[in-house]
Chain A
């Protein structure tokens, strides 16, 4: 596979509060290209909020205020106007915590993003695109005979792979995964993990996970968040195996979670 992701994703002095309560404080991160970055930390530390800020899926949160920048290849998504926002979001795919197929067929789920962006307008091109991305997530052989059936009829593990294929079809550079395996059985989780490891050659992957063993298995880079602040970040092997900060050590040894 060829290296594709060349764009950078940088968080610069990000401060977020919800209804006056600070959630993220002075966050500065550079997410390494073509690597899997795992954001870990105890519940309520702001992991998911940080992830949602990366493609500005924060507008429907009541009382949400944000300061600072999230730079996608130099363009700030925080201050982007509507026109730029939709283009920037296309570069940042999302795999949600719970699989969420759109109320349409399997084929249309993958094709939907391409259609709204006017990509692959000819039918045979769209067919090829749908096949390519369903193959990429290992779903093609399982669904090729029922592409016109509603996506909600797939198993939950298949739905999650479909969501990934849907995100990949609009050709993003980054994939955000918010505890993407937490609703899945162990076999489906393993499939998704393996997919991420394979996909990092083409995409920069940023995932939030509660499962430390999973982070240990697949992360290249780790960010440890505690009470809305980055306590430690660096190569996953260094952060997980020889953490420098006492809080990280205590979290990893299970003293708090």
Chain B
């Protein structure tokens, strides 16, 4: 009887510990979103998201930060496309051609793990050194390059994990029909598509919100970028720049943070909806 009570007590204690941990995380999410929402909504106006900074922007409310919103999109959209074009073939190469655990596949995976673990600021510093070396200044192109570096390891790592869920039986079934590895890739792709899309959107979400990497490479400008070689403002860097400055900047920082959060949340929700739709179609 005492032993049963002890087990029941253990069960209750562990349940409470798990509940507390969950509440801490939920509390953090609510307080972050709440702060951004309350302060951001107060400061945000249609003018802010629809206009470029005016002449008096640095001293008074004049215009908006459309330059930063567009800058983020100019950097992230091409980087996402390039990142996907690089990472998807890599995922298939290590999944289909290096499926066996050999020394080569181990080294390849280790290399991508190392890349994944490198902090964005280091990517930024590395890209900056390269840019200085080739005589390039902070620009949209620099931002794109470093964002590609951020997206690729994230997508490869998640893609590799997702590809591991492909049952060996499925791969064998396709091979046994006389398919080549490349033909098998297409069948496998259908199976992992929802997961890959989620990985892609989450990687893009992470990249769009990163300030450290674009700090050195994309620069900052109150003017919209007209070419790849122009410097550009980005939303995370705008938040970083404005948050510690006197009024009217902190309000703008929260407004920019709100816009950024909405963008990232939209990507997150889109990934869930798309995943559910495709999974339902496949089942």
Convert A97-127 into 0s and 1s, putting 1 for each residue whose CB lies closer than 8 angstroms to a CB of B: 1101011100000001100110000000000
Tell which of B168, B175, B180 has the most Cβ of chain A within 10 Å. Answer: B175
Residue B77 is within 8 A (CB to CB) of chain A in the complex: no
Structural contact, B173 and A102, CB atoms closer than 8 A:
yes
A111 to nearest B CB, angstroms? 11
Decide yes or no whether A152 CB sits under 8 A from chain B. Answer: yes
> How far is it, in angstroms, between the C-alpha of A112 and the C-alpha of B188 when the chains are bound?
13
CA gap between A112 and B173 in the complex, in Å: 11
Chain A positions within 8 Å of B282 at CB level:
103, 150, 152
Whether A57 pairs with B176 at a CB distance below 8 angstroms is yes
Are B176 and A93 touching (Cβ within 8 A)?
yes
Give Cα A174 to B102, complex, Å. 32
**Other-chain contact of A89, B99, B176, B190 (Cβ < 8 Å):** B176
| Residue B179 interfacial (CB < 8 Å) | yes
Provide the bound-state CA to CA distance between A166 and B170, in Å.
Answer: 13
Question: Residue on B with the closest CB to A170?
Answer: B177
Q: What residue of chain B has the Cβ atom nearest to residue A153's Cβ?
A: B283
Is A61 part of the binding interface, using a Cβ–Cβ cutoff of 8 Å?
yes
Residues 40 to 80 of chain A near chain B (Cβ within 8 Å): 55, 57, 59-62, 64
Residues of the B chain whose Cβ atoms lie less than 8 Å from the Cβ of A60 = 99-100, 168, 171-172
| Interface hits, B236-283 → A, CB 8 Å | 281-283
A163–B169 Cα distance when bound, in Å, is 11
Looking across the interface, which residue of chain B has its beta carbon closest to that of A59? Answer: B100
Cβ of B117 < 8 Å from any Cβ of A?
no
CB distance A89 to B100 under 8 Å?
no
Contact B167 A100 (CB under 8 A): yes
Q: Which residues of A contact B102 (CB under 8 A)?
A: 62
Q: Mark B23-45, 1 if CB is under 8 A from A, else 0.
A: 00000000000000000000000
For B, the interface residue count at a CB cutoff of 8 angstroms equals 25
- Measured between beta carbons, the chain B residues less than 8 angstroms from A176 are 176
Query: B283 — which chain A residues lie within 8 A by C-beta?
Result: 150, 152-153
Q: Give the residues in chain A near B179, CB-CB below 8 Å.
A: 86, 113, 116
Q: In the complex, what residues of B have CB within 8 A of residue A170's CB?
A: 177-178
Give every chain B residue within 8 A of A153 (Cβ-Cβ): 283
- Chain B residue numbers with a CB within 8 Å of A117 are 178
What chain A residues lie within 8 Å of B175 (beta carbons)? Answer: 57, 89
Given contacts A62-B101, A103-B190, A152-B282, contact A98 B169 (CB under 8 A): yes
Closest to A85 in B: B178
B187 contacts the other chain (CB 8 A): yes
Closest chain A residue to B167, Cβ basis: A100
Give A150 to B101 CA distance when docked, in angstroms: 33
Interface string of A138-180 (1 = CB under 8 A from B): 0000000000001011000000000100110010000010000
Query: Quick one: closest A residue to B173, CB to CB?
Result: A100
Residue A82 at the chain B interface, CB threshold 8 Å? yes
Other-chain contact of A103, B101, B183, B191 (Cβ < 8 Å): B191
Q: Flag whether A200 is at the interface (Cβ < 8 A).
A: no
A150 to B183, CA, bound (A): 20
Contacts of A113 in B (CB 8 A): 177-179
In the complex with contacts A86-B178, A100-B169, A116-B183 CB distance below 8 A: yes
Give the residues in chain A near B172, CB-CB below 8 Å: 57, 60, 94, 96, 100
B162 within 8 A of A: no
A199 is an interface residue with CB less than 8 A from chain B: no
Whether A167 contacts B281 by the Cβ 8 Å rule is no
Q: Could you tell me which residues of chain B, from 163 to 203, have a CB within 8 Å of some CB in chain A?
A: 167-180, 183, 187, 190-191
A35 within 8 A of B: no
Kindly list 11 other residue pairs between chains A and B, CB separation below 8 angstroms, not including A94-B172, A94-B176, A100-B167: A57-B172, A57-B175, A60-B100, A86-B180, A90-B177, A93-B177, A102-B190, A103-B282, A112-B174, A117-B178, A167-B177
A interface residues with partner B (beta carbon < 8 Å) = 55, 57, 59-62, 64, 82, 86-87, 89-90, 92-94, 96-98, 100, 102-104, 112-113, 116-117, 150, 152-153, 163, 166-167, 170, 176
Could you list some 13 contacts between A and B, CB below 8 A? A62-B101, A86-B179, A89-B176, A94-B172, A94-B176, A100-B170, A100-B172, A102-B170, A102-B187, A103-B190, A104-B187, A167-B176, A170-B177
